[in-house]
Amino acid sequence: MVERKKDADTTTTTATSATKRKVAGLLGVIEAEAKGEPWVLDDSDPLAIIGLGLGASPEARRLALLGLISERIAALDRKLADLKPKRGAPKKAMSINVKRAAAVLGADDFLRRQRGSGAATQTEAIEVAVQIDAILCDAGERDKPLFGQANQMKSWQDSVSKGLREIGKEGERFLKK
């Protein structure tokens, strides 16, 4: 099937036939390699690719299958653990305080772009944020207003201050030092 020609310094191998021998299991591969024959794994045995083909003992095949099954069960258990509901109330993605603080910071940025300087006080920035919030609600961009309908400046200031503390470094713009 394979001819070997020996030149002075090199050895070349050429296949005289285009057919490859189908081998089963690791022993078949080793045997074909030892003879220098071209080979291809037999598709009839799915475990041949990992070396547990027809030449493997039944105990080795059983243990390999048990290992594969246990890995799959462990992966499914991890996925199920992620799907189980957690105890307690669900966590909110962002509190109303943080949303209000972000709106106030956005209003301050808007003022900086429009007139070159930001809001002088937190109250001024809240007033601009309330106006922007009302415009967004009227346009249908937001279902529920962030700042409510009544004039509750003190509670809004407290809420915004809490949100600014949660935001961190960016929120230090309007926090009292």
CA distance 49 to 97: 59
Question: Residue ranges of the domains in the chain?
Answer: 17-81, 96-173
Q: Is the pTM of this model over 0.85?
A: no
The rounded distance, in Å, linking the Cα atoms of 5 and 161 is 87
Percent helix, strand, coil in the chain, to 5, is 55, 10, 35
Percent of the chain with pLDDT over 90: 1
For residue 97, what pLDDT is reported? Answer: 87
3-state secondary structure of 50: helix
- Indicate the pLDDT class of residue 69, thresholds 50, 70 and 90: confident
pLDDT at site 6? 45
How far apart CA 19 and CA 34 sit, in angstroms, is: 18
- The pLDDT tens digits of the residues spanning 134-172 come to 888 888 888 888 887 667 888 888 888 888 888 877 777
Average pLDDT estimate for 55-73: 82
What letter would DSSP give residue 46?
G
Q: What is the pLDDT of residue 60?
A: 81
pLDDT surpasses 70 at 9: no
Phi-psi region of 140 (alpha: psi -120 to 50; beta: other; left: phi over 0): left
Mention every residue, 6+ apart, whose C-beta is less than 8 A from residue 177: none
Overall average pLDDT of the 28-52 stretch: 74
| Longest Cα–Cα distance in the chain | 100
Strand partners, 12: 5
Residue 150: per-residue pLDDT: 65
18 pLDDT band (50/70/90 cuts)? Answer: low
Q: Which residues contact 46 (CB under 8 A, 6 or more apart)?
A: none
| pLDDT single digits (tens) 93-140 | 788 888 888 888 888 888 888 888 888 888 888 888 888 888 888 888
